[in-house]
Amino acid sequence: MNSVFGMSLLNALVICLALPLIGIAVEFICGYLIRKITPPGAYFLVYNYLTIPGVMWHELSHALFAFVTLAKVNKIELFKPRNGSLGRVNFTPRGPYLLRCLQLSLASCAPVITGMLAVFGYMHLIGSYSFSLPVHILLGYLIICIVLHMTMSGADLKLYFKGIWVFFILFFVCSLFIFKNTDAGPAISYTDRIKNVIESLRNSAAMQK
């Protein structure tokens, strides 16, 4: 197995497993912390109503990815409390079998993907522009709301793993194409990539001082 093929397999495997793990970790850690710091019975109020931008982001992410992958979005609910949640999206996969699998996997993990994009976008903004304190507070609040709802429920996980093999193939092909068409290839290890991300975050923080 050559290095390009092997690194492409590793990339696809890491991405496909990282998304649900992030969703589970966020739900467990944030849920645990909120229950610890809130009075009994106040969890739903804090986790849903006080972070309602995150609820909207979460549900609209599901709907957007379902729509983009050509699934039928039947219903979007953003303000209807039921079974411990405030919103939900109902969609129906359609089209060829492979496309339906992709719709299930992408739509179910959408809040994790869009949440990570939002966090990196926020880090880029605060590293590239100078904002007033109120704007920083607003952006920080929105990011906290989004991160708190970068979750995958049990139902999301079931849908995700129904189509994960198509998701895996998609990432593998994309990774293989990228590595074969760049001079760097897979030479940069995951350790180096993590170090680069940490260094970028440190540089962004230093620019704000």
Which H or E run contains 77? strand 72-77
Smallest CA-to-CA distance from 106 within 78, 147, 68 is with 68
Asked whether 86 and 78 are in contact (CB, 8 A), the reply is: yes
Tens-place pLDDT, residues 159-174: 999 999 998 998 888 8
Residue span of the structural domain in which 89 resides: 3-208
Q: Which pLDDT belongs to residue 5?
A: 80
Q: Which pLDDT belongs to residue 193?
A: 54
Neighbouring CB atoms inside 10 A of 98's CB total 13
How far apart are alpha carbons 115 and 57 in whole angstroms? 8
Asked whether 186 and 4 are in contact (CB, 8 A), the reply is: yes
How far apart are alpha carbons 182 and 172 in whole angstroms? 16
Q: Which pLDDT belongs to residue 188?
A: 52
In this prediction the pTM is 0.81
Asked whether 58 and 87 are in contact (CB, 8 A), the reply is: yes
Tens-place pLDDT, residues 73-98: 999 998 888 777 888 999 999 999 99
Number of domains in the chain: 1
Going from the C-alpha of 77 to that of each of 73, 80, 85, 124, 189, the distances in angstroms are 11, 6, 10, 31, 42
Asked whether 150 and 26 are in contact (CB, 8 A), the reply is: yes
Mean pLDDT of all residues belonging to the chain? 84
Tens-place pLDDT, residues 24-72: 999 899 888 888 888 877 888 888 899 999 999 999 999 999 999 999 9
108 or 124: which leads in pLDDT: 108
Asked whether 56 and 79 are in contact (CB, 8 A), the reply is: no
145 or 201: which leads in pLDDT: 145
For range 176-200, the mean pLDDT? 59
